[in-house]
C-alpha cells in the first residue's frame, strides 16, 4: 500500500511541477486579487511543495530529487530557460524544506508540513522569480506567497487536520451517543 501511495504521490509531484511551469510559460503573470499578481503556476507549485513531503514520507528523499529531475526534463521540452529556473528553485526549496520537515516530522505531520511548506514557499518564490526573469516586487512576492503558502499549504494542512479530527471522533464514538 505504501508503495502504491508513494508512486501516486511521486506522479502527482512531477505533474504539479510540470503544470506549474506550463501554466507560467503559457500565461505569465496573472492577478490574484488585493492588488497582487503571481505567476500562473503558483498554486501548482505550492501543491508540489506539499506533495514533496508525501513523497519523502512514502519513498524517501532520493525520490524527491528524482521527481525534480523528471519535472525539469519534461519542462525543458516546453521551455528550457524556465526548466533551469524551476529546477534551481525547487532544489533550494527542497534543501530548506528537508532541513525543517525532517526534524519536525517526528512531532507530527501537520506541524512539519506547515512550517516546511512555508519555508519552501519563501525560498522557491524569490529564487524562481529572480531566475525566471520576473520582477521581484511586493505584488509578485505577495501573490506567490498567498498562492503557495496560504492556499496550497496552510489550507490543505488544515483540511487534513480537520478530517483526521472527524475520523478520530467517529472512531471514539461510533454510535454517536
**140 closest CA partner among 6, 28, 22:** 28
Q: What is the pLDDT of residues 116-175, one digit of tens each?
A: 989 988 999 999 999 999 999 999 999 999 888 888 888 888 988 999 999 898 887 655
- pLDDT for the residue numbered 29: 95
The answer to whether residue 120 is domain-embedded is: yes
- 32 vs 75, higher pLDDT: 75
Query: Phi, psi (5° rounding) for residue 133?
Result: 85, 15
pTM: 0.87
Domain containing 165 — which CATH number? 1.10.1760
Angle at 30 between CA 28 and CA 31, to 5 degrees: 165
Structural domain span for residue 63 = 2-172
The answer to whether residue 68 is domain-embedded is: yes
Average pLDDT taken over every residue of the chain: 91
The answer to whether residue 177 is domain-embedded is: no
Q: How many domains does the chain have?
A: 1
Pairing of strands 36-39, 29-33: antiparallel
The answer to whether residue 137 is domain-embedded is: yes
Rounded average pLDDT over 27-41 = 92
Kindly indicate the confidence band of residue 25, based on its pLDDT and cuts at 50, 70 and 90: very high
Neighbours of 159 (CB within 10 A): 10
Amino acid at each position: 500500500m505504501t508503495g502504491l501511495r508513494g508512486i501516486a504521490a511521486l506522479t502527482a509531484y512531477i505533474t504539479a511541477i510540470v503544470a506549474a511551469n506550463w501554466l507560467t510559460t503559457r500565461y505569465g503573470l496573472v492577478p490574484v486579487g488585493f492588488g497582487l499578481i503571481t505567476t500562473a503556476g503558483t498554486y501548482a507549485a505550492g501543491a508540489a511543495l506539499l506533495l514533496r513531503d508525501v513523497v519523502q514520507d512514502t519513498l524517501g528523499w532520493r525520490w524527491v530529487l528524482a521527481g525534480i529531475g523528471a519535472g525539469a526534463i519534461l519542462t525543458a521540452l516546453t521551455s528550457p530557460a524556465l526548466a533551469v529556473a524551476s529546477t534551481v528553485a525547487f532544489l533550494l526549496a527542497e534543501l530548506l524544506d528537508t532541513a525543517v520537515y525532517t526534524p519536525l516530522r517526528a512531532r507530527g505531520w501537520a506541524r512539519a508540513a506547515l512550517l516546511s511548506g512555508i519555508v519552501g514557499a519563501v525560498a522557491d518564490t524569490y529564487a524562481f522569480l529572480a531566475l525566471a526573469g520576473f520582477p521581484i516586487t511586493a505584488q509578485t512576492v505577495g501573490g506567490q506567497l498567498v498562492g503557495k503558502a496560504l492556499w496550497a499549504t496552510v489550507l490543505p494542512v488544515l483540511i487534513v487536520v480537520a478530517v483526521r479530527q472527524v475520523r478520530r471522533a467517529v472512531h471514539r464514538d461510533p454510535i454517536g451517543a
